[in-house]
Chains A and B, each alone.
Chain A
């Protein structure tokens, strides 16, 4: 996406689209804004006690959340799951993707297809399969949050592949690795001190998206009867709608915060692209500079 920004920014202003009837467009945008903002407004209002008949708005539901049975516990479990998922995801995928780009470019299509597989297999079906596949596995794994970590890494593969692939495609990986190797760095040192810093934006967005996924995932945890924060929220919802809505808004704001960071990372990379292009065209004459900042 970033690659196009520069090109179209100059032309869009002068383009023929400008003469569109503006009132129609404004009206359309207004309707969409209403559809997307009204539910959020009413949900926030609801968590502030807005639906109670004869009381003003109050923060008591939010502050009372922490005293709810199981709130802290399950929130901690979900945060732990998210953290371990991110670490495992990156430890597995960063070396794999770097290796793929360096040594097995022919396998990229295949690995991409494999990484997209979780899109084709619904989470419900995965949950069902887990029951059948891991019957003989120790309860310590299949009956605990570890199985969730393992499966969330799988669910995160599609966007992790795209993110790391775009990051690795945008740097002169082979040159960098060769330079490091010929200066005597070991392969782990090269990976950690040369490759990782160069694709840190891509790593950050993959990790953050993984964390957001792990924080909010409900289907698998619920069907495997494991307690996480979303599962607790659902159970709370069967007794107290206000508490559940407040907890849901908490998940929402947490993951939105994370996702906003991703979208900010994407933008700041756009801003940095010109600098990157200059150094790269100097070192690698063969490379077309406009292609450097491709994709997200």
Chain B
């Protein structure tokens, strides 16, 4: 399974404002200790005190905080610190710089190419499909089939996907055999599942559904009234998309491209299983370092590669979150 999972971006912030008055007033009256009655909730009389965070309340977050610190924080910290150490634990920058030299430089360039191509293609194709489907009747078969399927397929990375495609376009695959008997040899024409074209084709299988999941709420949020209003004011369909629809959809679209990029960049299992570890991608290189394929003096090169991955994916995910927040302003 790949690391980035994004069920429904609309949900997180949308419900935040609604139950405010009653919830806020009762928060003042502690539900923890029984103080007074519940009547009078929502009067707003205590509004000044309602959102104060009490220090003791923070203890309620302690189990969660400790858990995340131990099982996410500690590994991340270990990678980041080890990236700056040599084999005997002395501080050095040599691993961090070596991680940007060949052969790892090549791995970064292949990884980034694969991620960019599969993200942009996935986003464009996903948008096209989403637009085509949003024209269909909402309760109809097509709409329901596509939304259900994208919810399922977006989570479908990893190992099974690789085997499905090996059975289709691998050396023994059915489609390969069909094409062979039709006189077309895929391999001779430069197509194998573990080169760039093959990996993009396979990655699109989870990128397009992920795009649908992310972009559907935004497309649905474009209200027909806005288009009608623009048309009534004399705008052509093209002008509507240029001046209204396009600018509104641009942030969620860009955000989706970033999310898809991070998704592809972090993916390990699919590429590994397709090629048994021979494709030069950064995650595969890290895996290979972990299994001991490393030069003396570069024990921590895997950690340095990991650090750079965190930097790339982290920046991309932060940019995605900011764009998503912008979209949430008009998306309800």
Contacts and interface: CB of A to CB of B under 8 A. Distances in A.
A288 B17 CA distance: 10
Interface in B182-213: 204-205, 208
Interface string A254-294: 01100110110000000000000000000011111001101
Interface centre among B23, B155, B172 (most CB of A within 10 A): B23
A122 B158 contact: no
Contacts of A121: 3, 72, 76, 310, 313-314
A213 B159 CA distance: 12
B5 A248 contact: no
A148 B125 CA distance: 35
B238 interface: no
Given A106-B53, A119-B4, A96 B63 contact: yes
B91 interface: no
A260 B167 contact: no
Contact of A218 (B10, B53, B159): B159
Contacts of A106: 51, 53
Contacts, number: 404
Interface in B73-94: 74-79, 82
A122 B3 contact: yes
A108 B16 contact: yes
A239 to B, nearest CB: 12
B27 A105 contact: yes
A102 B31 contact: yes
Contact of B60 (A99, A126, A230, A234): A99
Given A43-B164, A219-B269, A296-B8, A169 B15 contact: yes
Contacts of A218: 1, 158-159, 268-269, 272-273
B295 interface: no
A175 B11 contact: no
Secondary structure of the B contact surface, majority rule: helix
Contact of A12 (B51, B79, B138): B138
A133 B303 CA distance: 12
Contact of A162 (B12, B125, B165, B174): B12
Interface stretch (B33-41, B102-110, B246-254): B33-41
Interface centre among B7, B153, B273, B309 (most CB of A within 10 A): B7
B156 A132 contact: no
B18 interface: yes
B64 A93 contact: yes
A1 B158 contact: no
Interface residues of B, number: 127
A103 B12 CA distance: 18
Contacts of A29: 129, 132-133, 142
Contacts of A12: 134, 137-138, 224
Given A32-B129, A42-B173, A218-B1, A126 B75 contact: yes
B60 A112 contact: no
A17 B231 CA distance: 13
Contact of A244 (B75, B163, B313): B163
Interface centre among B76, B139, B228 (most CB of A within 10 A): B76
B160 A216 contact: yes
A197 to B, nearest CB: 17
B71 A151 contact: yes
A45 interface: yes
B266 interface: yes
A210 B138 CA distance: 29
Given A42-B167, A111-B64, A263-B148, A123 B15 contact: no
Interface centre among B57, B177, B276 (most CB of A within 10 A): B57
A230 B76 contact: no
A245 interface: yes
A249 B166 CA distance: 12
Contact of B78 (A13, A129, A262): A129
15 contacts: A5-B138, A12-B137, A39-B205, A103-B32, A103-B57, A119-B4, A121-B3, A122-B306, A249-B160, A260-B152, A262-B151, A294-B14, A295-B8, A295-B12, A295-B15
Ranked nearest first, the 6 interchain pairs of A and B with the lowest CB-CB distance are A295-B11, A129-B75, A169-B15, A132-B78, A122-B266, A46-B167
Given A151-B71, A234-B273, A286-B22, 5 more contacts: A15-B227, A17-B134, A230-B158, A237-B273, A288-B18
